[in-house]
Structure formats: C-alpha cells, structure tokens
Structure 1
Amino acid sequence: MLLALVCGASLLLQVIAAGPFVNNQNKVQVVRYDLDTDNLPNSYKFHYDASDGSSRTEEGGIQNLGTNDAALDVHGAVRWYNSKGQLYEMIYKAGKRGYRTIIKKVS
C-alpha cells in the first residue's frame, strides 16, 4: 500500500510539474539523479536536475508507523523556467491533512 501511495503521489506531481511539449524545443534530459531508498518502505528521498534548468526534490516517510494513525507524509519542491526565462518554484506537502502547495516566482 505504501508503494502505491508513493507511486500515486509521484505520478500526480510529475503530471503537475510537466509543461506542454513544444515541437521546436529539444527533448529535456535528466543530467543528475539521486535516489535514497535505504529505509524503504518507511521512507525515501530523491532529487533530479534537468538540462532545461528544472529540478525536483522530494522526501517521504511514514509517520506514526505501527499505529492506527500511520500515514504517508511527503514534501518537496519543483523548479522550472517559463517561456520568458523566469524561474518558478512549487513547494508541496501531502499527508494526513491533505495536499498543499505554494507556487512563487523566484526570478
């Protein structure tokens, strides 16, 4: 169940973070990827940087493990550039209280 929650949250965030494909743009490549699953199924973390300057960082873990209140808690950030070269960041948190985001223009 934890893996399904993690995969579901990850997929949702990838869809949210993905921009529209433009035919005249080069295909974006991942230039750095770090994944820490040493503590699965209790927690995980990852980070990637892409060739277009975008990036994503995420950490997740089970809170109150072994109790009836056990819940997956995830937080992270996604950064991307818009078509005008302005950098944006979305910080997100998902857990027992729901899904919350803050989106801001960085530069």
Structure 2
Amino acid sequence: MKFLVLVFVALFAMAVARPNEANIVRQDSDVGPEKWSSNLETSDGTKVDSEGVLKNVGTEHEAAVVHGSFSWVDEKTGEKFTVTYVADENGYQPQGAHLPVAPVA
C-alpha cells in the first residue's frame, strides 16, 4: 500500500511541478477504510485518476488493488499521452499506446 501511495504522490508532484505553472481545475478524493478514489485535472490537460479497494480483508492474503490512469499533453507536439494501469499483488502493470511491449516468448 505504501508503494501505491508513493506512486500517486510522485504522479501528483509531476503534474503540479511542471514549469508552465498549470493550475488545478478539478480535484476530488473519497477515502474509506477499504475503498478509495481520487481525481486530479490541471489546466494544461494533465489528468490523474485512480480507485482502489482492499481485497481479502483480514486474511494473510489482504492486498490493495488499484486501477487508474494518467495523461498529459506534450508541450512541443501537442500530442496527448495516456497510461492506464493496474497495481495489485502481481505488481504494477501499465499500458499505453506509446509504451513498448515485450515480445511473446
């Protein structure tokens, strides 16, 4: 769970630390003990969305499962990039049209 929080904080810092002084235009969060979600959108087109849930609560197999996405607009080309991901007991699994894909063995 600490890793997931670290990923979100890093993405949030990346979104708000851009040199063009983007402003937050939307920010929502709903945090409960076993379910949470957050959304962030900045004036430069950056978006960060995630939702998570604890599964197998109270067992030795308790794990956080997070589904989310983040996107940004390249300042030079104007191209929009989007990464969707799942983070669970199998690790961080990002997908995006611009990301390389490992060859099938």
List structure 1 runs of 4+ shifted beyond 6 angstroms.
Answer: none
Give the structure 2 partner of residue 29 of structure 1.
23
Q: What is the percent sequence identity of the aligned residues?
A: 26
The amino acid of 1:78's aligned partner reads F
Cα shift at 1:12: 4.2
Give the structure 2 partner of residue 56 of structure 1.
48
Q: Work out whether residues 16 and 23 of structure 2, in 8 Å CA contact, stay in contact via their aligned partners in 1.
A: no
Cα shift at 1:6: 4.3
Cα shift at 1:91: 0.4
The amino acid of 1:41's aligned partner reads P
Give the counterpart of 1:11 among 9, 12, 17: 9
For structure 1, which runs of at least 5 residues remain unmatched after alignment? none
Give the counterpart of 2:64 among 72, 76, 82: 72
Describe the superposition over 1:39-60 as per-residue Cα deviations: whole angstroms up to 9, x where unpaired: x221100111110011111001
Give the structure 1 partner of residue 97 of structure 2.
104
For structure 2, which runs of at least 5 residues remain unmatched after alignment? 99-105
TM-score, structure 2 as length reference: 0.78
For this pair of structures, how many residues does the alignment match?
97
Distance 1:21 1:52, change over 3 A: closer
| Residue 90 of structure 2 corresponds to residue 90 of structure 1 | no
TM-score, structure 1 as length reference: 0.77
Looking at structure 1, the residues matched to 18 and 28 of structure 2 have their Cα atoms a distance apart, in angstroms, of: 25
